[in-house]
Structure 1
Amino acid sequence: MLVRIVMGMLVIGLLSTPAFAAEAIKIGSMNALSGPFGVLGVDQSKATKLAVDHINKDGGILGRKVEILIRDDETSPATAARVGRKLILEDKVNFIVGVNGSPAAMSVSELASRFKIPFLSSGGAMVEAMTGKDCNRYTFRINHLGAQFYRADAAYVASNFPDVKTIAGINPDYSFGREMWEGFLGELKKRKPDIKLVADVFVPMTEKDYTNYISAVIDKKPDLVYSVFWSGSGVAFIKQAKPYGLFDKTRFFLAAAAVGTSLIVMEKDMARMWGSEPYVFELDNPMNKRFVADFMKENGKPPHSFCAHSYGTIMILKQAIEKAKSVDSDKVVAALEGGTFDAPWGKTLVRKGDHQAMGKIFIGEAKPNPRYPFWTLSDLKVIPAEEVSVPENQTGCVMK
């Protein structure tokens, strides 16, 4: 009798498990799983795995199982290049996704071009060159471009804070931090020509003690401070700035998807500020509802925007493969170019001219929310990507 029951359970299990073709579709996923950005990369990897689990549960792609190979890029260009080469040459992946930080992502973009392996950047690399002067046929950026954020941020500040006369910046000292600050300042000056810059502070990437830099900014008494400290560095910055009263003495704007992670990690210890995000977890569409419900079930917290981009990138890739009816690199590239795809943040166009995805931007004020144990962005202003994006013919991208 026991044998019959066990055999019956096995039959039921086999019937409920999709039957896949022998050869799996391999996707290499690279994110920071260690170091100061590990808090971000671990969550991104969980979201990536969840997307693959959903796809396989639904029957795979073209009847084939999807296999995800998760690796640590350490937010390092050298590590990303080494790990990327191994994924391509030894693990024989069909595609690469993720990669945290602009320098690391640019090194993988070079590999994608050299080996003709599609790379869908979803780890937060926002440097303009990726879809600008250094664009290539095999690299796509699914997360937002930095310019989309700083243009939206400047428009919001000029419109909502007419009393702001002086401004300061405190940012990480690398390409993304400088590009974002300089871009924001330039756009703000177009709208408020009389704005006065009182502090222009850049913090070395290796620095863990921000207190001297924070004091230097506070001493200048700016009406508004703009920053793009993200992931672990963003959380550390907020924790160190709170005792100095930075958030009580000025308006603080934490830009470019940096505020979302801090909201969830800091919970009730969060500080008052404004921020810009490419995603909020309460968006009402079928894909997002499934994603959020299962992510919360597995992790006990909602996904932030970096998780949404990780999950959504896998789903966009799935739709492109199905559109191409193939995993052939060139056919999938052609399917991605100019296509509109479903994602947790809504319908998303991937531009043909520069391979930049076009998604909305949400800007609001961080406030306590009685529905959750953490703060959320409230009084949201939603800005379409088309309003703040550089036209395709002005990006400097010459596809090769």
Structure 2
Amino acid sequence: MALAEVSYDMGVFMKFYQKFQYILEMPKMRPSSNWTVPTNINISVTFHHILGVNEKAHILISFLSSRQLWFNDYLVWKPEEFDGIDHLIVPLDFIWIPDFYIWEFVGENISPLMSYAYIHHTGKVICDQPIRAETSCYLDIFFFPFDTQKCLFTFGPYLHTVADITLGVHVSDEQLLSDSLQNLQDRGEWELRQINASIQQFYYQRDEWPMCVFTVKVRRKPTLYLVSLILPSAFLMLIDILSFYLPPHSLDRCAFKVTLLLGYTVFLLMMNNILPNNSGGTPLIGGYFLFCLALLVISLLESIFISYILNGLATQNRTVPQWVKSFVLGYMSQLICYKITDTREHHKKINVFTVGMIKGYEDELTGNREAPGQELEQFLKDTCDKVKDIRNSFEHFHIRSKDAEEWKEVSIVLDIFIFRVYIIFITVCMVCLGIFWSQWLTE
């Protein structure tokens, strides 16, 4: 019984072949009953994998399938004449197929070959071809890793002009995207966001060539780069900000900032291989790293400057200039709401008390000139001279202490002021950077 069915089926196919033999033996002829009427071909694409990008060479690597649909005016039959056969799958060598290619295709074509097409009894022909496409695409990495890329896939014939074929898209843009999202197998670094199809014409040497342009928008997933690049750099900057709370008169602050700067330099060397290299320009994240490095250097210079004031000017017995007192201890201290410790009255009381003591001794000695005992008088005079020397030493010491205290106040006011300006500057820059990168969420 099975052999009879096979024989019967083979007979049906032989009947079909005999009827359409003249068509199947001329596969290179365009299947149009009227040569003045172009053959309409509808195209659609479905993405299965987005394998990656080569930023340096501006190449997008993807795996997709294209479906081409057209009508063959000669391959039309009634299913009841062939025992209900309403469709067939035939080799591509037996029928005419359009000579389509992707204009942006670069590199070697290693796409798998599908040698069959689907034919419906109405004459509709469906040809599906899987394509591993390495296509040229301008990659703008300025907003890396929060970047969105738009790439073109232009399908067009190599020989046929608009006089021979016309192009169309048999599904909507929403359906193209939905089908691709359902068939995407690779959930890697890139995600498919949008597919738009448009029919255009290309003029070359007085001929008009049809083409179907698919605009594909893909968006990078920034999680990996956020964890490995942006957050570590932000943590190092946070540590640098907290280092301002170390005592400014301690040399440990400078040593700590030097160590932090060295660690950040090592971090930049490690992440250098991760950043994309592109002829289109430097990504914004490169400016972010350079900005953080510059802030670390400025922070170290600020600590060196404060240490110089405390350990240099304050120990050189130099008096604080009047303009520094007016600007730093006057205006700037009020601006940052810092209360200056007033030590002038304390020094004045000490000096007055010392001077009063010495004058009292001198008056006592002067009033007792007629007291008996010349040796006692001479002893008291010598004692008075020594007290004067002690008084001068104390006055000099108090002046030096007063200058040192003023230099210390100047360094504290400058340290607080620079720290607050540092915080404000970092906050403004980070907000601007966040606004730039937030555009990724709306694309």
TM-score normalised over the length of structure 2 = 0.20
TM-score normalised over the length of structure 1 = 0.21
- Please say which structure displays the higher CA radius of gyration: 2
Higher relative contact order (CA 8 A, sep 6+): 1
